[in-house]
């Protein structure tokens, strides 16, 4: 057999929707670099120790025993005694814990798979009560009406998110493989059960699709640290979640099946910076079973045609794991991938280190203008729900900003913050959205910036979901220099620079430093024509902070009094006003003011409002 035929046979043996790009084996230098990567991660001490992994395993085993006892009790009330043999359930872990890349102290995602005799409402009522009574279970919290219903708890010192799925089976075999026999497994399941069980099926299929799981795990640990440090690890915020990053790296592992972890990381950036989005990333071809669950298919689903970075789960029903990605978040992700490509090029030539790749980004060094969303509650229990609600809706506010003709980019920080000082409520969470305004089309022309509708609509949505006297929501505006009022003192160093070093998507720039993903860009709402200098910074108010929408000390859903610098969120109270940014050439900058019948001048650096 000639060498070409041998290579063709080797390529045919590997998985993936295409043949591998290279079958090259690791070199001695690759193995050395891999050891260097593993030593670096040990020094960082971010991943779970062996003792911590054993603690999680023990907790899951004990939780499964508790669940099986409960299932047997419920089944005994419904079934004849001769049918009770073998009735029980099984807990499957998935996500980062199942992949072997969970960070220290991270929660464990798991699903309880039960027989047909157990109903969902019994799991969220009776089993939830059993958990709350258990001496080793604390902070149990059921979210039964979520898109993927879950019970959150701390069990034997381990944070666990437990889902539920019942199969149309009389018993659950100990050796059941959730990847196999898809049609039999999913028959007669509702969509919530399918979504719950597919988390485990996706994780198992990813591991099945990679040629070398151990090399994949080492590389995935680095990619996860990189994505988190660079602020692009969050599905809820419109970036990529853990499953999406794992699928992307798994595809690279299929293309380079024999590569060492360091090579997988380098190829990860090189391939993805050249990927022709929205071409989907897929790990395998599927033969759909004779079932009728909705799945991702841009040929038949119009909405799927508008997905920007489709990354498709490798099990039926196929779903796009990145449907939340927006124009702004895609730009940020691509900028970080480009930065990673440039740095890994330098790492190959020993000009940079892996630590440079993983350097955390300074979000507050990237923009001049910020919108701050502040959620506060009277109690810790209420705040847990309210914080999750507001965070889940932030993406919609960002999308609304993106459709505003005066805004070029709206970038939400994936990290949230608590109290800045003792005068603030005890239970408070803040999110920061960096805003990049478009430049004025011509020198001396003003650019109208109207955020009234965007913010009012956002608060109305929250009002409709959580109308309580014990909940408060504020949406404020601040320049960079005013952020110290909202950030805890430990974070003030992040805003000490005089101007942003970089704005995502502006072009190439120095690759070192926290904000070095792209070149420094002209900020502000208007810029000087024919000049390479940054655009003037539009001033907002004499205090450096103008309140666009506020509900300070006023409950969500209640009527808010009219006051200067304040928009009421109640539809009965809302008065149409416009925020207008003006700018011209030169160092004088511009001003941002609200125009109404009492003020049309843009020379005064203030925010005016009717009372």
Separation between Cα atoms, residue 482 and residue 486, nearest integer Å? 8
Tokens of 350: 């020993």
477 neighbors 543 (Cβ within 8 angstroms): no
Separation between Cα atoms, residue 305 and residue 309, nearest integer Å? 11
Separation between Cα atoms, residue 172 and residue 572, nearest integer Å? 56
Separation between Cα atoms, residue 580 and residue 397, nearest integer Å? 19
Separation between Cα atoms, residue 311 and residue 320, nearest integer Å? 5
147 neighbors 126 (Cβ within 8 angstroms): no
Residues 6+ apart with CB under 8 A from 576: 452
Instruction: Read off φ and ψ for residue 89, nearest 5 degrees.
Output: -150, 175
552 neighbors 545 (Cβ within 8 angstroms): no
Tokens 């001396």 correspond to what residue? 444
Closest CA to 205 of 177, 239, 170, 233: 177
Q: Is 161 annotated as a binding residue?
A: yes
3-state secondary structure 527-578: CCCCCCCCCCCCECCCCCCCCCECCCCCCECCCCCCCCCCCCCCCCCCCCCE
Separation between Cα atoms, residue 332 and residue 330, nearest integer Å? 5
Residues 6+ apart with CB under 8 A from 152: 107, 139, 140, 141, 142, 143, 159, 160, 161, 162
Residue 338, sorted as left (phi over 0), alpha (psi -120 to 50) or beta, turns out to be alpha
Separation between Cα atoms, residue 235 and residue 132, nearest integer Å? 30
Tokens 């897929």 correspond to what residue? 282
Q: Is 611 annotated as a binding residue?
A: no
Q: Which helix (H) or strand (E) holds 254?
A: helix 242-255
Q: Is 218 annotated as a binding residue?
A: no
Tokens of 585: 């050439």
Q: Is 103 annotated as a binding residue?
A: yes
Sign of the Cα pseudo-torsion (592, 595, 601, 606, in order): negative
Tokens of 115: 């027989």
Separation between Cα atoms, residue 579 and residue 569, nearest integer Å? 16
Q: Is 29 annotated as a binding residue?
A: no
Tokens 């101007």 correspond to what residue? 499
Q: Is 171 annotated as a binding residue?
A: no
Separation between Cα atoms, residue 347 and residue 175, nearest integer Å? 45
Chain center to CA of 551: 27
Tokens of 573: 């109270």
What one-character DSSP code corresponds to residue 468? Answer: B
3-state secondary structure 490-519: HHHHHHCCCCCCCCCCCCCCCCCCCCCCCC
Residue 240 pairs in a beta bridge with 233
Q: Is 243 annotated as a binding residue?
A: yes
Closest CA to 453 of 403, 412, 411: 403
Tokens of 388: 């999750």
Q: Is 313 annotated as a binding residue?
A: no
Q: Is 242 annotated as a binding residue?
A: yes
Separation between Cα atoms, residue 476 and residue 473, nearest integer Å? 10
Q: Is 109 annotated as a binding residue?
A: yes
Residue ranges for the known binding site for Mg(2+) are 107, 109, 161
Residue ranges for the known binding site for ATP are 94-96, 103, 107-109, 161, 233, 242-243
Residue ranges for the known binding site are 94-96, 103, 107-109, 161, 233, 242-243
């Amino acid at each position: 057999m000639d060498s070409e035929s041998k290579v063709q046979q080797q390529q045919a043996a590997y998985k993936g929707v295409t043949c591998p790009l290279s079958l090259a084996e690791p070199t001695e230098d690759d193995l050395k670099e891999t050891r260097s990567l593993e030593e670096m991660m040990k020094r960082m001490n971010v991943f779970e120790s062996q003792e911590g992994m054993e603690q999680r395993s023990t907790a899951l085993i004990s939780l499964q025993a508790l669940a099986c006892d409960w299932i047997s009790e419920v089944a005994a009330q419904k079934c004849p005694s001769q049918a009770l043999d073998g009735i029980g359930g099984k807990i499957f872990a998935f996500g980062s814990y199942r992949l072997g890349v969970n960070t220290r102290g991270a929660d464990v995602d798991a699903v309880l798979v039960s027989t047909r005799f157990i109903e969902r409402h019994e799991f969220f009522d009776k089993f939830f009560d059993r958990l709350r009574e258990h001496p080793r279970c604390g902070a149990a919290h059921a979210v039964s009406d979520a898109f993927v219903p879950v019970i959150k708890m701390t069990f034997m010192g381990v944070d666990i998110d437990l889902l539920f799925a019942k199969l149309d089976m009389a018993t659950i075999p100990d050796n059941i493989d959730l990847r196999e026999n898809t049609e039999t497994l999913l028959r007669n399941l509702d969509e919530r059960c399918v979504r719950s069980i597919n988390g485990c099926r996706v994780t198992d299929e990813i591991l099945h699709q990679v040629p070398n799981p151990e090399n994949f795990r080492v590389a995935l640990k680095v990619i996860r640290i990189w994505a988190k440090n660079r602020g692009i690890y969050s599905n809820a915020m419109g970036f990529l979640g853990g499953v999406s990053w794992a699928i992307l790296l798994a595809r690279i592992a299929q293309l380079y099946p024999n590569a060492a972890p360091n090579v997988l990381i380098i190829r990860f950036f090189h391939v993805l910076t050249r990927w022709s989005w929205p071409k989907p990333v897929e790990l395998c071809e599927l033969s759909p079973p004779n079932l009728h669950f909705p799945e991702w298919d841009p040929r038949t689903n119009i909405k799927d045609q508008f997905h920007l970075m489709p990354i498709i789960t490798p099990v039926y029903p196929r779903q796009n794991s990145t449907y939340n990605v927006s124009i702004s978040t895609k730009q940020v992700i691509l900028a970080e991938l480009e930065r990673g490509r440039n740095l890994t090029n330098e790492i190959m030539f020993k000009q940079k280190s892996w630590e440079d790749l993983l350097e955390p980004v300074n979000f507050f060094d990237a923009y001049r203008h910020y919108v701050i969303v502040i959620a506060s509650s009277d109690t810790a229990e209420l705040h847990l729900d309210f914080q999750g609600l507001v965070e889940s809706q932030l993406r919609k506010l960002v999308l609304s900003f993106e459709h505003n003709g005066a805004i070029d980019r709206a970038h939400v920080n994936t990290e949230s913050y608590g109290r800045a000082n003792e005068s603030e409520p005890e239970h408070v969470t803040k999110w920061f959205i960096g805003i990049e305004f478009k430049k004025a089309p011509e020198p001396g022309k003003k650019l109208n910036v109207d955020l009234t509708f965007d913010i009012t609509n956002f608060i109305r949505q929250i009002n409709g979901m959580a109308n309580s006297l014990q909940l408060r929501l504020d949406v404020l505006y601040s320049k960079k220099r005013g952020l110290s009022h909202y950030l805890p003192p430990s974070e003030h160093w992040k805003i000490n620079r005089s101007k942003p070093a970089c704005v995502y998507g502006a072009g190439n720039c120095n690759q070192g430093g926290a904000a070095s993903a792209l070149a420094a860009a002209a900020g502000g709402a208007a810029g000087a024509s024919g000049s390479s200098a940054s655009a003037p910074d539009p001033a907002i108010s004499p205090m450096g902070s103008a309140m666009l929408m506020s509900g300070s000390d006023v409950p969500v859903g209640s009527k808010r009094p009219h006051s200067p610098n304040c928009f009421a969120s109640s539809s009965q109270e809302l008065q149409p006003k416009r925020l207008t940014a003006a700018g011209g050439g030169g160092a004088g900058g511009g001003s941002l003011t609200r125009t109404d019948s009492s003020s049309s001048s843009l020379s005064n650096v203030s925010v005016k409002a009717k009372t």
